[in-house]
């Protein structure tokens, strides 16, 4: 008997401009379609209609959420995106057993926290009007390769950099106010905090917070048509 390869949706993550949206309950999915244009004419053979392919489009995406008033960079950012009227970047990441993402630009056309009824939890719904081509990426990017990444100013990195380790703490002395990070990848585009960096080349200087603070650096390796690998480096500047 063959066992199904079906996967439950638990674990789906939706991000807005790189920030996770809290407590998403349902994503109606990204649906792409293509219009067919009627090209039937008096000479169409055997009385059959003829058609040619027209424009492609993506339908609106609806998000259902538990309303979280403190989700500043997620749910409240959806409202801010509605107000600014600009297209923003969204990524829907499938559960970990399926290495796939939908990436698209969208304008937020509706934002509704409610209903407000006694004995009923407060939901939140947002509608995303997709603009341009959504991209379905399947399969993981290879990610960082030996020696993975290095930092200047004698930063102590824990654990040791590796391809399949995605979260690090780097400690620097009190007097260090900025660092650079040098990533290495054999394939794909590397970005450090959103700026493209060539493999084996130091990034621009990244300013650190005050002594005693932690600054987050994000390294992303993205191959065309594949899911990006993201590495987080939390730089801890020692207290004065």
User: Per-residue pLDDT for 198 more than 70?
Assistant: yes
User: Per-residue pLDDT for 98 more than 90?
Assistant: no
The chain-wide mean pLDDT, for the chain, equals 94
pTM for the predicted model, two decimal places: 0.73
pLDDT score, position 204: 96
Residue recorded with tokens 């102590």: 156
Per-residue pLDDT tens over the stretch 38-94 = 999 999 999 999 999 999 999 999 999 999 999 999 999 999 999 999 999 999 999
CA distance 93 to 55: 27
Q: What is the largest CA-CA distance in the chain?
A: 86
CATH class of 13-36+51-138: mainly beta
Instruction: Tell me the domain boundaries of the chain.
Output: 13-36+51-138, 149-237
Say which residue, 227 or 87, is predicted with more confidence.
Answer: 87
User: Per-residue pLDDT for 207 more than 70?
Assistant: yes
Confidence band of 1 (pLDDT split at 50, 70, 90): low
CA distance 10 to 181: 34
Helix residue spans in the chain (DSSP H): 75-84
């Amino acid at each position: 008997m063959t066992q199904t390869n079906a996967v439950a949706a638990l674990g789906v993550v939706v991000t807005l401009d790189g920030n996770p949206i809290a407590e998403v309950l349902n994503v109606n999915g990204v649906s792409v379609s293509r219009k067919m244009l009627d090209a039937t004419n008096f000479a169409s053979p055997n009385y059959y209609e003829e058609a040619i392919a027209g424009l492609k489009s993506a339908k609106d995406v609806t998000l259902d959420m538990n309303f979280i008033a403190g989700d500043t960079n997620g749910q409240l950012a959806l409202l801010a995106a509605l107000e600014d009227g600009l297209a923003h970047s969204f990524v829907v990441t499938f559960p970990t057993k399926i290495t796939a993402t939908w990436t698209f630009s969208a304008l937020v056309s509706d934002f509704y926290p409610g209903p407000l009824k006694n004995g009923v939890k407060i939901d939140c719904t947002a509608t995303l009007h997709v603009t341009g081509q959504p991209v379905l990426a399947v399969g993981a990017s290879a990610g960082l390769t030996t020696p993975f990444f290095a930092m200047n100013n004698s930063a102590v990195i824990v654990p040791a950099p590796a391809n399949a380790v995605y979260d690090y703490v780097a400690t620097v002395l009190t007097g260090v106010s900025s660092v650079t990070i040098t990533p290495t990848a054999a394939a794909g585009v590397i970005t450090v905090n959103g700026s493209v960096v060539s493999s084996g080349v130091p990034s621009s200087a990244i300013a650190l917070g005050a002594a005693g603070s932690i600054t987050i650096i994000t390294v992303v390796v993205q191959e065309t048509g594949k899911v990006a690998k993201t590495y987080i480096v939390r730089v801890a500047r020692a207290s004065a």
